[in-house]
Structure 1
Amino acid sequence: MSRSLTRSRRVRALAATALAISLIGACGAGERETPADPAATAGSAAGVQEAKDAMAGWAAAPEWPEVTKIAEPVDLTGKKFTYVALGDQIPVIHGVGVGVTEALAAAGADVKICDGKFNPTAVADCLKAAGDEQVDGVISAFVDYQMAGPAFDALAAKGIKVIVGGVAPSGGRQADANLDFYDNTARVFALHEAMSHAAVAEGGEDTNVLWVRLMDSTTTTGAGAKGVAKFKELCPSCGIAETEFTTANVDKLATSISAALVSNPDTNSVIVPVDSFVPPVLQGIQSAKMAGKVKVHSSSSDLAGLQRVKDGQQASDLGTPVLYEGWKFANAMVQLLAGQEVEKGDEFVTRAFTKANVGELTLDDESYLSDDWFGGGNYKKSFLTAWGVE
């Protein structure tokens, strides 16, 4: 039986910060439209099949994309770089930094990781410190240019090469010889759409989802919108509600989830953008007395996430090969140093982890910071060959 669309009402934040919306907003209850449009029902049947096919295809280890050759290789031996993470305590962001460190070290360089702590001041401090240390290059991860524009520009003015990574250009800043953007937002958007595939594939036409949207940056805000739109496209007769949060206010997330579920008692699926935020979501589900009724879907495949999948606390995890992503960030820096076009990160590389395949994995810290869950690290030789190192 098809379900009608649940119209969500969001509580808007009153105060804005440089990270975007700073207060978590819970969705209100919505009216149902009955009966469902027959055309919507037919569209949902096709969307459910599409979702199931996509999840089946992503269940296997991915194939690594080709790497563009550097026309005039640069010598990285002895060069110093700083990786500025928006928030290094998030495993997926830290893992990308480990990948950057591994990649540039393989080419003879040294890398220092600096934690921006999800705070514009801390991010700017990291960038200034890199300039004071006269590094050869800085790679930021998931920091909007407009969050620390003057600090980015100060580095570029000193001739330090800067990759603003994991985000689209913002603040009107154009790329130049010293500063460019590694824009992988297409991949991030695809990952959020994939989580909607996971929820629809698991719940079918009876799915009533709560989409939990992360509003830390323009990338995460846009990605959440893409995920919501994909869910509606796949299953127009399914129910959907939304709630928003930021990392800075994650302490309010459990309460927000509980309120949203109480307002939408037919919810049977929750999509959480990153594994790190699943624990407070589970707490909110428990508070709403809906444990066992609601399936949780997330992404990034950190160790805790895959352990939850194995234990049945989480239905799916769309994997992020963090070391590979780090090599992609490093590749952008090599392209900038070589005077080559910095390519966008458009390729979608993931693996869908569910109860069906997670049992074959070794789940420990060492494996997370490796490529074992994704079929091995053959891509590394491709990068080094493209850079002229091998």
Structure 2
Amino acid sequence: MRTPMGRPGPRLITGLASLALLAGCSSADGSAATANSDESQSAAQELIDPYLGQPGEFPVTEPLDAPVPAGTRIAYVDNGNALVALMYQLMQPAAEELGIELYAVRAGTSASGVQSAFSTVVQQQPDAVINTAIDPVLWDNQREQLIDAGIPIVSLGTVADPDAGLVQPNGVAAFERQGRLQAAWLVAGHDESVDAVLYEHSEIAYAEAVQEGFESELAELCPDCTVRVVQIPIAEVGNKAPERIVSDLQSHPETDAVVFQSSAVATGLPAKLKVAGMDDIEIVGANPLPTNLQYLKDGQSTVELGADLNTLAWTAVDTAARLVNGQDLQENVADGEALVHQFLRPEDVTFDPAHGFAGYPDVADRFRELWNR
């Protein structure tokens, strides 16, 4: 198993790395590792630099044209998933600031429960609807009914087709960017080709977009790099997933780096890796939970690509308000790119991991200015 020869940063090309390269370092399965060109590493570094030490650009810069009409009501469908429930709580301060009534319609996790909840929303005729991560396929009939009624729908974390009539501030483009940035991180930090594994959950709709971004960018920057894509059932997150990952890595000792679609699957993994003698493997996570941030702070993982969910929550309410007002959306919001990313290394976790990652702690003040509040 080859260990990382550096982490993006500024670029780290040490004397030891040069000696290893000259010696023709080879992988555990006997295949020779190919040197990455300076051009490839420079291109990769250029991709990740805007997300090192600071968050990506703030997603909304254009003012709200007019106050939201008094009595505006926005329905939020909550299926009880921890992330979905969290996003509802994060949206409440934004709604209160605008004088909007944001209310939850409870749904179970079953298809019938989701359909029932959205049918209730159709009957209630709110001014707008916000959905988080609930696959539109499950409520397709209700989606059409809402659109026919002229009710705008903001959908977070989904990858519906552009003609579905949904506004998806963090859609396919944002998830493909996640994959591209994770691939660029690996190339920028390695002087030689990498054998990576991408662990993903096919049950989550955006998995395909992350995979596409990762594979295409890795092939572009490092044609000799390889990636295996391994499915981890979502039901195993928080229980059996670490054992499955360790078993997979033991069966593929040539693996240099572990990449996660979502770092939630890594809960409990560092301890298992240590017992297996593999705690030196590079871990490139994404969308970290507080537990993952603590692992990072403790040096038990390499890097996390953080997503600023609080800013996304305010962006969702802002988007709904603009749709209610009939105001045009910014291009990045309409195109699904309004998600703030930042690479978090151990030294970047200067905040309390229990509070999660916030790229823009002043998000409320920024939106108040845009809203003339």
| Residue ranges of structure 2 left out of the alignment (5+ in a row) | 4-27
- Per-residue CA shift, 1:352-380, capped at 9, x if unaligned? 1112222x223333xx38x4xx2532x43
Taking the TM superposition and a 5 Å limit, the aligned residue runs for 1:240-389 are 240-248=227-235, 250=237, 253-279=241-267, 281-282=269-270, 285=273, 289-342=276-329, 343-347=334-338, 349-358=340-349, 360-365=350-355, 368=356, 371=358, 374-377=359-362, 379-387=363-371, 389=372
C-alpha contact (below 8 Å) 2:131/2:155 kept by paired residues:
yes
Query: Quick one: distance in 2 between partners of 1:116 and 1:200?
Result: 43
- Per-residue CA shift, 1:264-293, capped at 9, x if unaligned? 111131111222221165576468x24313
Give the deviation of 1:104 after TM superposition: 1.6
SS in structure 1 of the partner of residue 246 of structure 2: helix
C-alpha contact (below 8 Å) 1:253/1:284 kept by paired residues:
no
C-alpha contact (below 8 Å) 1:49/1:201 kept by paired residues:
yes
C-alpha contact (below 8 Å) 2:169/2:338 kept by paired residues:
no
SS in structure 1 of the partner of residue 353 of structure 2: coil
1:163 to 2:154 alignment: yes
Shift in alpha-carbon separation, 1:231–1:180, aligned structure 2, 3 A: closer
| Residue ranges of structure 1 left out of the alignment (5+ in a row) | 4-30
Give the deviation of 1:202 after TM superposition: 4.2
Query: Quick one: distance in 1 between partners of 2:86 and 2:184?
Result: 25
Give the deviation of 1:256 after TM superposition: 3.8
- Per-residue CA shift, 1:152-181, capped at 9, x if unaligned? 2344455544223333433x8543xxx655
Query: Quick one: distance in 1 between partners of 2:47 and 2:79?
Result: 31
Match for residue 74 of structure 1? 68
What TM-score does the superposition give when structure 2 sets the normalisation length?
A: 0.77
C-alpha contact (below 8 Å) 1:82/1:138 kept by paired residues:
yes
Match for residue 58 of structure 1? 51
Give the deviation of 1:210 after TM superposition: 1.0
Shift in alpha-carbon separation, 1:168–1:335, aligned structure 2, 3 A: farther
C-alpha contact (below 8 Å) 1:303/1:364 kept by paired residues:
yes
SS in structure 1 of the partner of residue 82 of structure 2: coil
Query: Quick one: distance in 1 between partners of 2:85 and 2:29?
Result: 43
Give the deviation of 1:248 after TM superposition: 4.1
Query: Quick one: distance in 2 between partners of 1:247 and 1:114?
Result: 25
SS in structure 1 of the partner of residue 223 of structure 2: coil
Of 190, 213, 230, 2:177 maps to 190
Query: Quick one: distance in 2 between partners of 1:181 and 1:362?
Result: 30
Give the deviation of 1:54 after TM superposition: 4.4
SS in structure 1 of the partner of residue 316 of structure 2: helix
Give the deviation of 1:57 after TM superposition: 3.8
Query: Quick one: distance in 1 between partners of 2:196 and 2:62?
Result: 40
RMSD, aligned α-carbons:
3.5
Aligned residues: 343
C-alpha contact (below 8 Å) 1:195/1:227 kept by paired residues:
yes
Give the deviation of 1:231 after TM superposition: 2.5
1:208 to 2:195 alignment: yes
Query: Quick one: distance in 2 between partners of 1:296 and 1:2?
Result: 13
- 107-116 vs 307-316, greater mean Cα deviation: 107-116
Q: Which amino acid aligns with 2:173?
A: A
Match for residue 11 of structure 1? none
C-alpha contact (below 8 Å) 1:257/1:284 kept by paired residues:
no
Give the deviation of 1:309 after TM superposition: 0.4
1:48 to 2:38 alignment: no
C-alpha contact (below 8 Å) 2:184/2:221 kept by paired residues:
yes
C-alpha contact (below 8 Å) 2:75/2:102 kept by paired residues:
yes
Q: Which amino acid aligns with 2:77?
A: V
C-alpha contact (below 8 Å) 1:211/1:228 kept by paired residues:
no
Q: Which amino acid aligns with 1:112?
A: Y
